Amino acid sequence: MNHLTTETFDANARAALQDVQLRGALRQATSLFGKRRLAAAQSLPDWEELRTQARRIKDETLLHLDQYLEEFTANAESAGARIHWARDAAEANEIVKRLARERAARLVVKSKSMTTEEIHLNAALEAEGIEALETDLGEYIIQLAGETPSHIIAPAIHKTRHQIAALFVEKLGIAPTDDIPTLTITARRVLREKFGAADIGVSGVNFGVAETGTILILENEGNIRLTTSLPKTHIAVMGIEKVIPRFADLEVFLKLLPRSGTGQHLTAYQSLITGTKRGRDGEGPDELHIILLDNGRSRMLAHPTTRQSLACIRCGACLNACPVYQQIGGHAYGSVYPGPIGAVITPQLIGLNKAAKLPYASSLCGACREVCPVKIDIPDLLLHLRAQITEPQKAEGSKQKASGSRAESFSFKLWAAIMTRPRCYEFSGKLGHLLQRFVVRQNRIDEVGRFVSWVAPPLAAWTASRDLRPIESKSFRRQWRESRSSTVTEEAAETRP
């Protein structure tokens, strides 16, 4: 599973489409999340206004990100936290490893964090001989299975109950059962012992408040509370885009994020952490280290179109709504970030040349834009990235190699020329009707009508997975003209004295 990469997306997707169990698990989970999201959104009459407000806050923050990061740093440090800056994944991992080495750490407990997945922190720690244990149930399951998450908020979404039961029997040595309470109690028993023994707790961050230096982490299982408070040292890895200006802004995001993600009105736990333990009898860790990670985010920030990618609050709603994700799941994307937002972020993080297939993993239906709580125009971003792939010489500042062909570029120019000239368009329809007999290899007729089910290469790729309508002898425009003129004639006949 882990050998899947962004470069093998087509093959990954084809393999996923053959996996009946995977598709069943995805269908069930994504439709459930979708229904819950809708019901939760409808429970708030000002939902649309909240989305607009959230986007306004994000846009304002991103425009002045340097100032808000400085404010966040000053306030977090004055509350006792220590801020570290990491340009990329390697620097971030190096900081965590150094902190671990200095404390002679052997065991690190981790709460679910896409940012630490992005930098592959577990592998970096394991290379140092430090055990990194995931404590979110979904993350724990996929860690046991040796896999990567396949969803932003539900890492084990692709697994059925029976698969998880078999995994627990194999890895934890329990008696065979697929009783969910028994499985969760088993995981809890194993994890509770580790919290007490851990030297360091590592978490992600949902929001960092510039005004107070507070970090907010949301969860449902209580494992983040334990990760961030039981070990003496807490390290939080935070993408620089997670900062928001004011404490009051949290009200907007706390209404949007849980509703969009799981359909909950609020997550079971909201951990607001400002600095370290106050006094001997206070709560929390002795040390709090916050790593502010860039890792390509400044590049996204520089362009007005790609900047909106940084408004993402990682709710996962666009994944659940996406007809492509619903069929192939997250692993096929070969990236930590799957689905529509992954198809946008991944090429910007790792380079278009390595992830040129991902912006095409979308039908541009717009379902992702409809559900996004911060109104990110993902289809627009996908088109922007596609343009960079096909016309690299026009892409501002891009030195990435083009993977689109000249033939493709020529075809689209020809297409645009025909579509913008009504006479040309009509003539092309007539010509297509006459010429189609030379490429059509097979027809099919059903109750809906006639379809072309197989055409000759190079067009065969289209009919390999879908049918085409044949080009009719009379175009729609001609039929429309004829029906208009017959209506006018009938009306004239009726009004004649």
Element (H, E) at 370: helix 367-371
Residue 133: which H helix or E strand, with range?
strand 131-134
Write the binding mask 212 to 251 for ligand SF4: x where contact by CB under 6 A, - elsewhere. Answer: ----------------------------------------
Nearest to residue 468, comparing CAs of 476, 477, 460? 460
Dihedrals φ, ψ of 462, to 5°? -70, -50
Using CA atoms, how far residue 427 sits from 84, 432, 438, 476, in Å, is 64, 9, 18, 13
d(Cα 202, Cα 274) in Å, to the nearest integer? 16
367 counts as binding ligand SF4 under rule CB under 6 A: no
DSSP assigned state of 19: -
CB of 213 or CB of 342, closer to ligand SF4 = 342
Task: Choose between 341 and 382: whose C-beta lies nearer to ligand SF4.
Answer: 341
318 lies in the site for ligand SF4, by CB under 6 A? yes
Closest approach, Cβ 315 to ligand SF4, in A, equals: 4
Q: Give CA–CA dist 348/303, Å, rounded.
A: 11
Residue number with CB closer to ligand SF4 (84 or 369): 369
Q: Rounded to whole angstroms, how far apart are CA atoms 177 and 179?
A: 6
Q: By CB under 6 A, is residue 297 in contact with ligand SF4?
A: no
Alpha-carbon separation of residue 1 from 17, 168, 230, 325, 335 (angstroms): 15, 19, 34, 17, 12
Interface pick for ligand SF4 out of 236, 349, 376, 382 (rule CB under 6 A): 376
The minimum distance between CB 294 and ligand SF4, in angstroms, equals 19
- Stretch binding ligand SF4 (CB under 6 A), from 26-34, 163-171, 371-379, 437-445: 371-379
Q: Is 312 in the site for ligand SF4 (CB under 6 A)?
A: yes
Please answer whether residues 213 and 74 qualify as being in contact, where contact means their C-beta atoms are separated by less than 8 angstroms: yes
Min dist. Cβ of residue 242 to ligand SF4 (A): 12
Among 142, 144, 200, 341, contact with ligand SF4 (rule: CB under 6 A): 341
Residue 372 interacts with ligand SF4 (CB under 6 A): yes or no: yes
Pick the piece of the chain touching ligand SF4 (CB under 6 A) from 15-23, 209-217, 315-323, 439-447: 315-323
Beta carbon of residue 317, minimum distance to ligand SF4 (angstroms, whole number): 4
What kind and span of H or E run contains 243?
strand 243-244
Of residues 57 and 374, the one with the C-beta less far from ligand SF4:
374
Number of residues that bind ligand SF4 (CB under 6 A): 15
Which of 121, 218, 356, 374 touches ligand SF4 by CB under 6 A?
374
In the complex, least distance from residue 348 CB atom to ligand SF4, rounded to whole angstroms: 13
- DSSP run (H or E) holding 237: strand 233-239
Which residue among 347, 359, 373, 379 contacts ligand SF4 (CB under 6 A)? 373
Using CA atoms of 228, 234, 240, 243 in order, give the dihedral in degrees to the nearest 10.
50
How many angstroms separate the Cα of 77 from the Cα of each of 32, 170, 257, 258, 330?
Answer: 42, 46, 27, 29, 37
- Residue 256: CB minimum distance to ligand SF4, A: 8
Which of these segments, 83-91, 293-301, 313-321, 323-331, binds ligand SF4 (CB under 6 A)?
A: 313-321
Dihedral of the CA atoms 202, 258, 64, 287 (nearest 10)? -20
* One of 215, 216, 313, 385 touching ligand SF4 (CB under 6 A): 313
Report d(CA 10, CA 328) in Å as an integer: 11
The 96-135 contact track toward ligand SF4, x by CB under 6 A, reads ----------------------------------------
What is the rounded CA–CA span in Å between residue 253 and residue 217?
12
254 touches ligand SF4 (CB under 6 A): no
Residue 310 touches ligand SF4, criterion: CB under 6 A: no
Of residues 237 and 376, the one with the C-beta less far from ligand SF4:
376
Cβ pair 274, 72 in contact under 8 A = no
User: Which residues of this chain interact with ligand SF4, rule CB under 6 A?
Assistant: 152, 260, 312-318, 341, 371-374, 376
